[in-house]
């Protein structure tokens, strides 16, 4: 679906109802604007999940655990789980 919207006085725009329905958007949702070779790409963001990732990242940064520690431990756990499950 293609559509045209107008930027009003206070830099506001209204999304057509049909577009909102098709993209499963509702008021309060966030959109990610990305400039790409003279065009603008607009992507909806599922806010909740991205916020949760950001919060987990903040906890990880404050810890003394490195990404490498996390990955190594993941490998070890996988080995253990696979061996337990299939032994």
Partner 1 sequence: MAKSIFIDSNIWFSAIYGQGVCSNLFRKILKSQDKIFINEIVLEEVIKNISLKLPKALPLLFSFIKEINPIVLKNPKLKTIKKYQKFAKKHDLPILASTIEAKCNFFVTGNIKDFNQTLISKKTHLKILAPADFEKEI
Give CA–CA dist 20/30, Å, rounded. 12
Give CA–CA dist 9/18, Å, rounded. 24
User: 40: alpha, beta or left, given left = phi > 0 and alpha = psi -120 to 50?
Assistant: beta
Shortest Cβ 35–partner 1 spacing (Å): 16
Q: Is 19 in the site for partner 1 (CB under 8 A)?
A: no
In the bound state with partner 1, the residue whose beta carbon lies nearer, of 9 and 28, is 28
Query: Which residues contact partner 1 by CB under 8 A?
Result: 32, 43-46, 48-50, 52-53, 55-57, 59-60, 63, 65, 67, 69-71, 73-75, 77-79, 81-83, 85-86
């Amino acid at each position: 679906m293609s559509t045209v919207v107008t930027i009003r006085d206070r830099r506001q725009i209204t999304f057509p109802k049909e577009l909102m329905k098709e993209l499963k958007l509702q008021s309060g949702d966030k959109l990610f604007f990305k400039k790409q070779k003279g065009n603008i790409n607009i992507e909806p963001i599922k806010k909740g999940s991205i916020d949760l990732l950001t919060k987990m990242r903040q906890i990880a940064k404050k810890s003394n655990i490195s990404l490498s520690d996390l990955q190594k431990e993941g490998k070890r756990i996988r080995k253990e789980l696979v061996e337990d499950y299939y032994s």
